[in-house]
């Protein structure tokens, strides 16, 4: 089955891998890439998205990049330069973009695209702060009934990374995340509980390097920088490649084990602002529109990534 996807991202090393996974997988129909300020400024992440599309060659031809919000809804932007570097994609030489950003705001593009397609066909995949997605559903409330699903990378039910309990994408724009998880649409939260299982081990890196193409060389360069940043900043031996876990779930739902759970986002806590709160008490609720990702089938995940990179 093929998935019509809008990828809303802030590339970002792992966002770039998510883009390449989508572009190299025939069953993902990438309708557009929308960008949002997060890992770096809007100008930088937009340029990075265009560079990744240029690198992907014909697979990316015709896929538009639509710049969105340059800052969170309420709070100041605090970029993740410590993890992603000054460009947002440090560690590689960025290919020169072969196209300009589209002249339509991300929010307008999302609304237009979802509303013109049959209900239940478009999946939104946010892998950055949720600013664009929140504005889109406020701008056009009927979006909630038309989107097939929101599969987001963000949050965590056990821990954070920007603070003890808040993950970067949610902590950057908690008000937007609050809107998104409280909307009446299906949400799958692929949080740190899951993505910390998606470690790019040396064996994974060797397999990608073995492909021996400009795309695989680019990914190896990204992973090298990402590894050092995660070692330095967060004490990881291998870097967690968060964002492509969302796309992998669409390609093969069996890659993730999920559990239904009511979800919310803490806005006011002095120590907990930006924390995602999943209610995991008692038996799994039947009529719950949100679920959290719990367990990753690492082998299946990396084999999807490697096949996509090989196909590009």
Please report, as ranges, the residues that interact with Ca ion according to CB under 5 A. 10, 12, 15, 127-128, 243
Helix axes 131-139, 174-182, angle to 10 degrees: 50
Largest pairwise CA distance in the chain:
53
Given Ca ion, ligand BDR, none, residue 80, with its beta carbon under 5 to 8 Å by kind, binds: ligand BDR
Active site residue 178: no
Assign 49 to helix, strand or coil: helix
Residue from 153, 245, 248, 273 binding ligand BDR (CB under 6 A): 153
Residue 83 interacts with ligand BDR (CB under 6 A): yes or no: yes
Which CB, 56 or 127, lies closer to Ca ion?
Answer: 127
Among 105, 242, 260, 289, binds ligand BDR (CB under 6 A): 242
SS3 15: helix
Q: Which is nearer to Ca ion, 39 or 291 (CB)?
A: 39
Q: Are 34 and 6 in contact (CB under 8 A)?
A: yes
Q: Are 39 and 154 in contact (CB under 8 A)?
A: no
Give least dist CB 163 to ligand BDR, A.
11
Residue 111 makes CB contacts below 8 A (sequence gap 6+) with 136, 139, 140, 143
By CB neighbour count within 10 A (0-12 exposed, 13-18 middle, 19+ buried), where does 219 fall?
buried
Q: Which residues contact 27 (CB under 8 A, 6 or more apart)?
A: 1, 2, 3, 251
Which of 276, 290 has the CB closer to ligand BDR? 276
Nearest approach, Cβ of 117 to ligand BDR (angstroms)?
26
Pick from 40, 161, 216, 246 the residue near ligand BDR by CB under 6 A.
161
Closest CB 172 distance from ligand BDR, rounded Å: 8
Q: What's the CA gap between 147 and 151, in Å, rounded?
A: 11
Q: Which of residues 33-62 bind ligand BDR (CB under 6 A)?
A: 39
Query: Based on CB atoms, which residue is closest to Ca ion, 36 or 73?
Result: 36
What is the token pair recorded at 102? 């589209």
Task: List binders of ligand BDR among 6-25 (CB under 6 A).
Answer: 12, 14-15
Residue 213: CB minimum distance to ligand BDR, A: 23
- Bridge partners (DSSP) listed for residue 276: 265
Which residue is listed with tokens 């966002």?
Answer: 15
Residue 215 lies near ligand BDR (rule: CB under 6 A): no
Asked if residue 22 lies in contact with residue 139, where contact means CB atoms within 8 angstroms, the answer is no
Quick one: 211 or 292, whose CB is closer to Ca ion? 292
Hey, which residues between 162 and 181 contact ligand BDR (CB under 6 A)?
167-169
- Residue among 125, 129, 131, 165 nearest 266 (CA): 165
Total of residues contacting ligand BDR (CB under 6 A): 14
Helices 13-23 and 244-251, packing angle to 10 deg: 20
- Taking the least distance from each CB to Ca ion, the nearer of 59 and 89 is 89
Q: Is 216 in the site for ligand BDR (CB under 6 A)?
A: no
Min dist CB 84 to ligand BDR, Å, is 6
Say what angle helices 214-234 and 298-311 make with each other, to 10 degrees.
140
Tell the smallest beta-carbon distance from residue 82 to Ca ion (Å): 14
Residues that bind ligand BDR (CB under 6 A): 12, 14-15, 39, 80, 83, 127, 153, 161, 167-169, 242-243
List, by residue number, the catalytic residues: 242
């Amino acid at each position: 089955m093929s998935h019509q996807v809008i990828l809303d991202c802030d590339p970002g090393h792992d966002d770039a891998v998510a883009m390449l996974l989508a572009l190299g997988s025939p069953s993902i129909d990438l309708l557009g890439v929308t960008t949002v300020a997060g890992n770096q400024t809007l100008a930088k992440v937009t340029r990075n998205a265009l560079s990744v599309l240029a690198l992907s060659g014909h697979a990316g031809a015709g896929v538009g990049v639509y710049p969105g919000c340059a800052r969170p809804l309420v709070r100041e932007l605090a970029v993740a330069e410590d993890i992603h570097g000054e460009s947002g994609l440090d560690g590689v030489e960025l290919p020169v973009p072969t196209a300009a950003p589209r002249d339509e705001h991300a929010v307008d593009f999302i609304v237009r695209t979802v509303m013109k397609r049959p209900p239940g066909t478009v999946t939104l995949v946010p892998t950055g702060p949720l600013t664009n997605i929140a504005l889109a559903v406020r701008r056009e409330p009927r979006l909630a009934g038309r989107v097939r699903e929101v599969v987001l990378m963000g949050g965590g039910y056990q821990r954070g990374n920007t603070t003890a309990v808040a993950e970067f994408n949610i902590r950057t724009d908690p008000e937007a995340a609050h809107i998104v998880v409280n909307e009446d649409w299906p949400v799958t939260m692929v949080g740190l509980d899951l993505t910390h299982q998606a470690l790019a081990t040396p064996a994974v890196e060797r397999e990608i390097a073995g492909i021996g193409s400009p795309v695989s060389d680019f990914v190896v360069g990204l992973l090298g920088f990402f590894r050092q940043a995660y070692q330095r900043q967060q004490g990881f031996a291998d870097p967690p490649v968060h964002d492509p876990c969302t796309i992998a779930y669409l390609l093969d739902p069996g890659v993730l084990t999920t559990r239904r759970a009511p979800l919310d986002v803490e806005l006011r806590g002095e120590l907990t602002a930006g924390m995602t709160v999943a209610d995991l008490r008692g038996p799994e609720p039947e009529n719950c529109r949100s679920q959290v990702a719990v367990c990753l089938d690492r082998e299946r995940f990396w084999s999807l990534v490697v096949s996509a990179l090989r196909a590009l």
